[in-house]
Amino acid sequence: MLHLVGLGLADETDITVKGLEIVKKAERVYLEAYTSILLVEKEKLEAFYGRPVIVADRELVETGSDDILKDAETVDVAFLVVGDPFGATTHTDLVLRARELGIKTNTVPNASIMSGIGCTGLQLYNFGQTVSMVFFTETWKPSSFYDRVKENAQFGLHTLVLLDIKVKEQSLENMARGRKIYEPPRYMTVAQCAQQMLETEEERKEEVYRPVSLAIGAARVGALDQKLVVGTLEELSKVDMGRPLHSLVLLGKRAHDLERDYIREFAIDTESFDNAWKANNYGSIS
């Protein structure tokens, strides 16, 4: 059987008891390592599980799935996913491939950023579509996220923005020359995300949000050193939230007074926060 096991958000101890029992008995254990990362090294996982762990990069998961599924009709294979197993569509593809081969599958869910972002104190019912923010380049600045944020804003809903990570990526030159040389890992910060959002608004000029719109920066959600910072997009474009992983939440107009009272604790500047709350007319949509 193929077991997709969610690892949770932070470290080796976030795995569920059910998931740990599967890992300890599995013939092979893979760690998916490109849609997200745990905040600890692979060696810590291996020490905690008492088992060797095979790192599965994008190439292996997307083009080498037969290697992962080898003999899974007769032995147990554990495929570990940071967060929840179905937080990325890639893993749906892996299950479909297993079905084609007649391999049974089992899923062990866990906390993901989609639920963990509740640590901000914002009501999960008030969130709209989740969007992703990729690293801009000089020639490529996709703004499809902006349209989804606009749709959320029309209903006064909060928007969770997931930030880009680049792990085992090749430069265009190395890719063109067929050289297996990889760039150092990069993880987008809250400041970079806020800056790119402002840049996109300046380009689109549809006033979906403004420099004074309130947002929450979240870093290392679920870890002991979790950090939350609340401020305007302009303020967050200058904030340093430390090591990855980062996420950002743009507040919607439906924000409730209880949410205001909770997030105010994390404000960069409470006076600026109060002024921005009034200027953006939060709480105006019931």
Phi and psi dihedrals of 139, rounded to 5?
-115, -5
Flag whether 36 is marked binding.
no
Given 111, 127, 145, the domain boundary residue is 111
Structural domain including 85 reads 2-111
167 labelled as ligand-binding?
A: no
Q: List the one residue out of 166, 180, 128 whose CA is nearest residue 150.
A: 128
State the CATH number of the domain containing residue 175.
3.30.950.10
Q: Say whether 246 counts as a known binding-site residue.
A: yes
149 is in an annotated binding site: no
The reply to whether 274 and 134 lie within a common domain is yes
Asked if 247 contacts 161 with a C-beta cutoff of 8 angstroms, the reply is yes
Residue whose C-alpha is closest to residue 82's, from 19, 134, 17, 159: 19
% of the chain surpassing 70 pLDDT: 93
Angle at 8 between CA 6 and CA 170, to 5 degrees: 80
Q: Do both 168 and 211 map to the same domain?
A: yes
The pLDDT assigned to 286 comes to: 61
Q: Please give the distance of CA 273 from its chain centroid, rounded to a whole number.
A: 26
Same domain for 243 and 118: yes
Cβ proximity of 122 and 158 under 8 Å? yes
Does residue 47 sit in helix, strand or coil? helix
| 5 in a known ligand binding site | no
Which pLDDT score, from 0 to 100, does residue 283 have?
Answer: 87
Is 112 within any annotated ligand binding site? yes
Distance CA 279, CA 257 (A): 15
Say whether both 47 and 36 belong to one domain: yes
Residue 9 annotated as lining a ligand binding site: yes
Is 67 assigned to a binding site? no
- Whether residue 285 is contained in a domain is answered as no
Q: Rounded to two decimals, what is the model's pTM?
A: 0.92
- Residue by residue, DSSP assigns 119-176 as GGS--GGGB---EEEPPP-SS----HHHHHHHHHHHTT-BEEEEEPEE-SPPPHHHHH
pLDDT score of 62 more than 80: no
Q: What is the pLDDT of residues 96-131, one digit of tens each?
A: 999 999 999 999 999 999 999 999 999 999 999 999
